[in-house]
């Protein structure tokens, strides 16, 4: 669905706001729909990008650079490829980093992402210039418009309407404020996001009961 189709669906079928003068403007509904897409991408890691790279620096006077900024909009670096061997580096995210790796200089064999600073650390510290292919989970590159489509997979486009309706109905500054209806759409949205998370985790990691239990609201 493009932005116009999604806006029309949200207004007419979900908000039941098809008679002029409208309770909610097109701009407001479209803004809520874009907000929904960004949140959906953040919660589910739906947008996978394998076209990015990080270029390391050679040491200067024996001092190397181990931290590098990730591309704008990156939520998670899922893998980094060693350009010299084609193998994936070990991902030490949220794991103990051996002390020897933190001070050594050489071809990077492992990495970790610091979500607070949006940087990736390589271990050993790079000893030369390397163009490291990376795979990242990211936010949408830009807002969609009435004539463009959301970046998330098309089967989830219609789910964005639940979030938009929740936020519009929650707004008590207009005549459409309706707390009970807002809560219904909020519940619907949360259930749809949880379902999408389970689908993505299973697709990428298989039927791992412990992982699904920990990451998807304790539901299989």
Angle (deg, nearest 10), helices 26-44 and 160-170: 120
Dig out the tokens for 18 from the structure.
Answer: 């098809």
Q: CB–CB of 145/3 below 8 Å?
A: yes
Provide the whole-model pTM.
0.86
CA-wise closest residue to 138 among 162, 163, 118? 118
pLDDT in tens, 27-72: 999 999 999 999 999 999 999 999 999 999 999 998 999 899 999 9
| Predicted local distance difference test score (pLDDT) of residue 94 | 56
The span from the CA of 143 to the CA of 42, in Å, is 14
- Order of strands across the sheet that contains 119-123: 67-69, 119-123, 110-114, 90-91
pLDDT in tens, 115-133: 888 999 999 999 999 999 9
The answer for residues whose C-beta is within 8 angstroms of residue 142's C-beta and 6 or more apart is none
The span from the CA of 96 to the CA of 172, in Å, is 48
| Predicted local distance difference test score (pLDDT) of residue 220 | 41
Type and span of the H or E element at 51: strand 48-55
* pLDDT tier, 210 (very low <50, low <70, confident <90, very high otherwise): low
Q: What is the CA radius of gyration of the chain?
A: 22
| Predicted local distance difference test score (pLDDT) of residue 42 | 96
CA-wise closest residue to 195 among 220, 213, 165, 214? 220
């Amino acid at each position: 669905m493009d932005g116009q189709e999604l806006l029309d669906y949200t207004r007419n079928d979900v908000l039941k706001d098809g008679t002029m003068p409208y309770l909610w403007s097109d701009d407001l509904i479209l803004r809520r729909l874009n907000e929904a897409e960004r949140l959906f991408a953040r919660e589910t890691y739906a947008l996978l990008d394998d076209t990015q790279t990080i270029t390391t620096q050679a040491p200067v006077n024996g001092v190397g650079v181990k931290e590098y900024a990730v591309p704008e909009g990156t939520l998670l670096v899922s893998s980094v490829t060693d350009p010299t061997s084609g193998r994936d580096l070990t991902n030490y995210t949220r794991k103990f980093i051996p002390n020897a790796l933190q001070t050594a200089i050489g071809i990077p064999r492992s990495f970790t992402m610091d979500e607070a600073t949006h940087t990736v650390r390589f271990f050993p510290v790079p000893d030369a210039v390397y163009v490291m292919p990376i795979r990242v989970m990211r936010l949408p590159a830009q807002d969609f418009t009435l004539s463009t489509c959301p970046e998330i997979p098309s089967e989830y486009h219609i789910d964005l309407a639940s979030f938009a309706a929740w936020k519009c109905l929650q707004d008590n500054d207009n005549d459409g404020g309706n707390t009970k209806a807002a809560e219904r759409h909020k519940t619907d949205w949360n259930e749809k996001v949880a379902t999408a998370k389970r689908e993505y985790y299973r697709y990428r990691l298989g039927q791992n009961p412990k992982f699904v239990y920990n990451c998807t609201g304790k539901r299989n």
